Amino acid sequence: MDLEQLFEQNKEQSLHGRYITLDAIEPLLNRLNTNHELRIIGKSVLDKPIYKYQIGTGKIKIFLWSQMHGNEGTTTKALFDFLNLLHSGSELANQFLAEFTFCCLPMLNPDGAKLHTRANANNVDLNRDSQDLTQPESKVLRATFEDFKPDFCYNLHDQRTIFGVADTGKPATVSFLAPAFNEAREINPSRLKAINIIAGMNAVLQQYIPGQVGRFDDSFNINCIGDTFQYLGVPTILFEAGHFQGDYLREETRKYIFMALITSFKIISENDIVVSKLDDYLSISQNKVVFYDFICKNIKINYDGIEIITSFALQYKEELIDDSICFTAYIAKIGELDNYFGHFEFDGKGAFYSDNFNNIPKLDQKADFYIENNIKFVNGSMIL
């Protein structure tokens, strides 16, 4: 099976970039609603509809939800790519529809999506509300879980560009986790099923992004929805869509999420989850905060009359301006950076730093500066 070709055939062309809102997906849901698969099952804080899309007639029940955090739309794009596949009429689509029933909440947090924020309109992180259920969106998710009674749960997220695969210097383009179900982080049969699926997805993704798959920290927190569902006995998999080299719009990453979804369903279909692959799972290196978007090394500054050589790092902030996401680079760290990597790195080789202010980099300052007065950087990018 050619997964790349499958992705290109089913990619939802209308969804692109980092800003994925309810306005963008509602027409797609209505288009895909060919046999009454679509229902409004609740409302957000700001009274926006929360949709459930259910398709398939199979005995194996798969529950997927995306954009629990409103600014994490990469997996939403991949989810619609997958839904397009299910409507393709292909042999694979027919197989999946016969073997599975898919229940999808493609945008749990439409208010956060509109504002491009992690939290909902009440400034609550829905992924810390699985026990108290204080928010309408949390209640919708839990009610759907209890009504649908899934065999597997897919918790779909994005992660920031700061994450790398251990200390390898490679970005964590895709990361997974089989959440713990107790404080001791033990392995029971339910968690082992999730572990085995992740091991299989990793084996396939290594063919496309070698060394760029990470394993998320499994510290137990019952307030997190994945931990709660695992605690309740349902194998749960956390997906984290991360950074691929140069792919700030996450268009490459969505492809690998799509590939992982397809692979996971093939694994379940073939019942390739009965033999323990715990060692393979544990061999996936853990996520680690080791990246900045840009590192400028070995630049000279005049600090209180003394010339010193230092380094500094920049990080992009995603800022919503006129319904568009702008990546604005700010100085995030100054000084020792030996244990960090940059998605882009520049060696100043002792050249002088200057800017329009004090000619020394300052934290939280916008990244517009010169190196030796002849190399200009605007918003963290070199202007040739």
- In this structure, the answer to whether residues 285 and 295 fall within a common structural domain is no
pLDDT tens by residue, 301-332: 988 888 999 999 999 999 999 999 999 999 99
- In this structure, the answer to whether residues 306 and 326 fall within a common structural domain is yes
Say what the pLDDT of residue 374 is.
86
Q: Is the pLDDT of residue 86 over 90?
A: yes
- In this structure, the answer to whether residues 136 and 226 fall within a common structural domain is yes
- In this structure, the answer to whether residues 149 and 180 fall within a common structural domain is yes
- In this structure, the answer to whether residues 252 and 299 fall within a common structural domain is no
- At residue 152's C-alpha, the angle toward residues 135 and 145, to 5°, is 30
Say what the pLDDT of residue 254 is.
98
Say what the pLDDT of residue 369 is.
95
Q: Output 374-378 pairs: Cβ under 8 A, ≥24 positions apart.
A: 375/351
Q: What Rg, from alpha-carbon coordinates, does the chain have?
A: 22
- The better pLDDT of the pair 264, 274 is held by 264
Give residue 161's domain range.
3-289
For range 8-16, the mean pLDDT: 98
Distance CA 3, CA 8 (A): 9
Give residue 282's pLDDT band: very low, low, confident or very high (50, 70, 90): very high
- In this structure, the answer to whether residues 258 and 320 fall within a common structural domain is no
Give residue 215's pLDDT band: very low, low, confident or very high (50, 70, 90): very high
pLDDT tens by residue, 189-208: 999 999 999 999 999 999 99
Last residue of a domain, one of 254, 289, 324: 289
Categorise residue 304: left if φ over 0, alpha if ψ from -120 to 50, beta otherwise. left
- In this structure, the answer to whether residues 379 and 263 fall within a common structural domain is no
Q: Is the pLDDT of residue 273 over 80?
A: no
Last residue of a domain, one of 289, 316, 345: 289
pTM of the model: 0.97
Cβ neighbours around 346 below 10 Å, total: 18
pLDDT tens by residue, 19-75: 999 999 999 999 999 999 999 999 999 999 999 999 999 999 999 999 999 999 999
- In this structure, the answer to whether residues 270 and 296 fall within a common structural domain is no
Say what the pLDDT of residue 184 is.
97
